[in-house]
Amino acid sequence: MQKIATLVTVLVLFAAVDARADVTNGSFEITTPAVPAGSFVNFLTGSTGITGWTVVGAPNTEVSVVNTTFAQECCTFPAENGSNWVDLTGDGTNSDTEGVEQTVATNIGDLYSLSFFVGNVFDPAGIFGIASTVDVFENGVSLGAFENSCTTCTTKLTWQQFTTTFKATSTSTTLEFLNGDPITDNSNGLDNVSLLDLGPSTAVPEPGSLVLFSSALLLLGLAGYVRRRIC
């Protein structure tokens, strides 16, 4: 009985590590107004028209929510997930301060895994640039600059996934995604943003610990089997 109780306790602890802490509308599917098929809608600084998000940046800058069937000049621009994605360069404003942010509830001391996709087209002779860089901040602290620099994506917006982590220091955390492209670049895609609560940072198992945990489960199972056989 003691072995069973111990096993249940261990399983509960590991299950707690895999708690969701997702952002709202991480794929930018819900907007007011809605984005027409094959087109895009601009949202100015201060707008909350993208559900769950606030547009940030200098006055009179913007971001654009683009429909997955939109096409222009060289390229098609499919979403990574769902029907929409955000172009952090807006409709020609191209400021390095424009972007979107969202404040989420967090547990102090927990480690969080932030995942998102950056979209790029390689258009050296056109208006869409050659790389897409998204600058990410957590409560104003930089988590890094994440660049999709694919060179084979000459006809279609291509997505690359990035993942970073941070430790929460307050009960709410503001996640900010800003345009990191030069003023001559008119496309910088962001899509499929998600957040995972990994639990208290001291309790996150290392790969070696996972192996030991699996071995412990196997030994407990064998012990129970042998006990049943003897009885």
CB atoms within 10 A of CB 70: 22
**Domain annotation covers residue 128:** yes
Query: Domain range spanning residue 102?
Result: 19-203
Enclosing H/E stretch for 143:
strand 141-148
Q: Examine residue 216 and state whether it is found in any structural domain, yes or no.
A: no
Domain total for the chain?
1
82-131 pLDDT, tens per residue?
Answer: 999 999 999 988 888 899 999 999 999 999 999 999 999 999 999 999 99
Residue 93 domain-assigned (yes or no)? yes
Strands 62-67 and 54-56, bridge-based pairing: unpaired
The single residue listed with the structure tokens 């509830």 is 105
pLDDT in tens, 27-84: 999 999 999 999 999 999 999 999 999 999 999 999 999 999 999 999 999 999 999 9
> Residue 213: inside a domain, yes or no?
no
Query: What number of other Cβ atoms are within 10 A of residue 29's Cβ?
Result: 17
Contact 98, 55 (CB under 8 A): yes
Question: Does the model's pTM come out above 0.85?
Answer: no
CATH assignment of the domain containing 64: 2.60.120.260
Measured CA to CA, the distance from residue 184 to residue 117 in angstroms comes to 22
Residue 147 covered by a domain: yes
Hey, is 158 helix, strand or coil?
strand
* C-alpha distances out from residue 56 to 71, 100, 101, 202, Å: 26, 6, 7, 34
Q: Tell me, yes or no, whether 2 lies in a domain.
A: no
* Tens digit of each residue's pLDDT (9 = 90 or more) over 69-85: 999 999 999 999 999 99
Tell me if 3 is assigned to some domain: no
11 domain residue, yes or no: no
